[in-house]
Amino acid sequence: LTHATVCVKCQLKLRRENKPYPTCPSECRSIVKNVYTSKRLTLRDLPGIWHYNWLPVKKPSDYAQRSVTYKSKYFSKELGLENLYVSFTGFWPEVKAYVGTGTFKELEAVVAIQYAKENGVNRLISASAGSAARAFAYIASREKFNVVLVIPEKVTEEMVVPMVDEKYVKTLAVRGDYCDAITYADKLHDSTGIAHDGGGRNPARRDALGTILLEAVEKIGFMPNHYFQAISSGAGAIATFEAADRLVGDGRFGKVYPKLHISQNEPFTPMVKAWTARSRTIESCDVEPENVLDVIYAKVLSNKKPLYGLSGGVFDALEATSGEAYGVTNREAEDTSKLFERLEGIDIHPAAAVATASLIKSVDQGKIGPKETVMLNISGGGLRRAEKELGKQRIPITIEVDKDSPPEELRDILHENLS
Ligand SMILES: [Zn+2]
C-alpha cells in the first residue's frame, strides 16, 4: 500500500471502506490525514498533478493539469521583493496553465473523484459556495461520474463551466447561505445514503491541494520562507502544512516549515479574529453577518464551519508555523485585483485577490525581508480567458429548495431526478 489514513487526534490507522475517505470510529471529529509509505518526494514521468507521488490513488486519471509557479518580475518590483514566486492555478496559456474552471478546486475534484471510484463509491454529494461546485460539475462530466451538487441559490448566476453533462451532474440550489447549503447536504446524505465528499475533511482533496506546494518547491528548489493564501474552510492551509511536513520529512528541501499567512474578507473574518486572539475557539458572534454572501467580494470565503480548532486543523497549522492572519476589505481586494492584472497580465479570482492584498499588508507591516522567498498562492485566475477560449455552459439547476425542506421531501424529489 502506498499510504495509510490516520486520525490526527488518536493516531489510529483507519480501515479503508467503501467511503469517500476513512473516518475515525472513536468520534474524534479531528482531521484524518494520509501518511505515505514513501518519505521521499518522487517526480514521476506523468502529466499534471500525477507527476507527484503523494496522492492517495492507485491509478492516475487522464487529467493532465496542475498549478504553475513562476518568479514574478513586475508585481515583485512593486513590492520590493526579490524572490516572490506566484503559484497560479487557473487558465493562462502563456505560462502553460490550463485549468479550465479557473481555480484550484478543480485539482481537488479530480483526486476526490478518482479516490471515490477506486473505493467503490459511485456517487458523491458536494456542498459549495461556488468554485468547488463548478469544479465537480466539470470533472464529473469529463469522468462520467455522478455528483449531486448543493449550492446557495445566490451563486447560481456564477455556475458557468467549459462543459457540463446533465446526465451526471444534478444541482440543488438552496435558498440560503453557504452554511445552509452544507446543512442541507448533510440532510440529503442522511435521507438518501449518498456519500458526502467531506469538503476539506477529505484527505484526498487536501493532498490534491498539497501538489501546489510540491510544484512550487520543484520549481524553486527549496521550501519558501513565507506562504500566502486566503482561506474559507481552511483546507488549503492545512493541506499546505501537511505537504510541508512531508517535505521536511524528506529533508532535501529544507527543515523549516513555510510561515503560513492566511487571510479572509472583511467583515467575515472568523479565523483571523480567533487566531489574533490565539484562541482555538471561534466566537459565535464572529460568524455573523447572516447575509455574508451579500457583503463580501470573495464569496467563496464564506464558510461558517471552518476546520479551525480541531486536531490537525488551521489553529495547529498556524501554531506550528508561527503563522499570521489578515483581514482584507472589499476595496483592498478589488484594488489589488486590478493592480495584479495590470502588472502581471492576468485576471485573478476574488479569493486570490484577498491573498494578494494580504501580501501587500504584510510587506507594509515589515514582516517580510526583501530577500526572503515568498510563495503567493493565486488559487484561481484567468476565468475570462477560459470562457473565451474553452467556451461556457451554464450548470443547469435540477431543483431549487427551501433550506428548511424536510428530508423526506428531498429524498422523493431526488429519487425522481436521479432515476
Ligand atoms: Zn481518532
- For 14-51, the pLDDT digits (tens) are 998 899 999 999 989 999 999 999 999 999 999 999 99
Neighbours of 289 (CB within 10 A): 12
Which percentage of the chain shows pLDDT scores above 70? 98
- What was the pLDDT predicted at 283? 87
Using the mean position of ligand 1's atoms as its centre, give its distance from the Cα of residue 307 in Å: 16
| Rounded distance from Cα 419 to ligand 1 centre (Å) | 37
Nearest to 323 by CA among 276, 286, 269, 283: 276
Q: What is the pLDDT of residue 155?
A: 87
pLDDT by 10s per residue, the chain, length 419: 799 999 999 999 999 889 999 999 998 999 999 999 999 999 999 999 999 999 999 999 999 999 999 999 999 999 999 999 999 999 999 999 999 999 999 999 999 999 999 999 999 999 987 889 999 999 999 999 999 999 999 888 889 999 999 999 999 999 988 888 989 999 999 888 999 999 999 999 999 999 999 999 999 999 999 999 999 999 999 999 999 999 999 999 999 999 999 999 999 999 999 999 999 999 887 777 778 888 999 988 988 889 999 999 999 999 999 999 999 999 999 999 999 999 999 999 999 999 999 999 999 999 999 999 999 999 999 999 999 999 999 999 999 999 888 767 667 766 666 65
Distance from the CA of 29 to the center of ligand 1, in angstroms?
7
Q: For residue 267, is the peptide bond before it cis, meaning its omega torsion is within 30 degrees of 0?
A: yes
Provide the pLDDT for residue 130: 82
The reported pLDDT for the residue numbered 330 is 98
**Cell 510541508 sits on residue:** 244
What pLDDT was estimated at residue 389?
Answer: 95
β 68-71/83-88 pair status: antiparallel
CA of 37 from ligand 1 middle (Å) equals 20
What is the rounded distance in angstroms from the CA atom of residue 306 to the CA atom of residue 191? 24
User: What separation in Å is there between the alpha carbon of 123 and the centre of ligand 1?
Assistant: 26
CB atoms < 10 A from the CB of 366, how many? 7
What is the Å distance from ligand 1's center to 283 Cα?
Answer: 25
Question: Could you tell me the distance, in angstroms and rounded to a whole number, from the CA of residue 31 to the centre of ligand 1?
Answer: 9
Radius of gyration of the chain (CA): 20
- Alpha carbon of 204 to ligand 1 centroid (Å): 18
Q: Could you tell me the distance, in angstroms and rounded to a whole number, from the CA of residue 64 to the centre of ligand 1?
A: 35
Q: Is 306 helix (H, G, I), strand (E, B) or coil?
A: coil
Give the Å distance between the CA of 9 and the centre of ligand 1. Answer: 5
3-state DSSP percent of the chain in helix, strand and coil, to 5 = 40, 20, 40
Q: Which of 178, 168, 182, 321 minimizes the C-alpha distance to 238?
A: 321
Ligand 1 geometric centre to CA of 8 (Å): 7
Contact assessment for residue 321 and residue 259, using Cβ atoms and an 8 Å cutoff: yes
Using the CB atoms, write b or e for 404-418: b if 16+ within 10 Å: ebeeeebbebbeeee
Ligand 1 mean position to 11 CA, how many Å?
6
Predicted pLDDT at 414: 67
Ligand 1 mean position to 27 CA, how many Å? 6
> Following DSSP, what letter does each residue of 49-95 receive, concatenated?
GGGBS--S-SS--S-----EEEE-SHHHHHHT-SEEEEEE-SEEGGG
Would you call 273 helix, strand, or coil by DSSP? helix
| 263 in Cβ contact with 357 (< 8 Å) | yes
Centroid of ligand 1 to alpha carbon of 314 (angstroms):
18
CA of 5 to the centre of ligand 1 (A): 11
CA of 221 to the centre of ligand 1 (A): 36
Give me ligand 1 centre to Cα 245, in Å. 20
Helix and strand totals (H; E) in the chain:
13, 17
CA 23 to ligand 1 centroid distance, Å: 8
Q: Whole-angstrom Cα distance, residue 145 to residue 398?
A: 17
Question: How far does the centroid of ligand 1 lie from the alpha carbon of residue 103, in Å?
Answer: 32
Distance in Å, CA 117 to ligand 1 centroid: 25
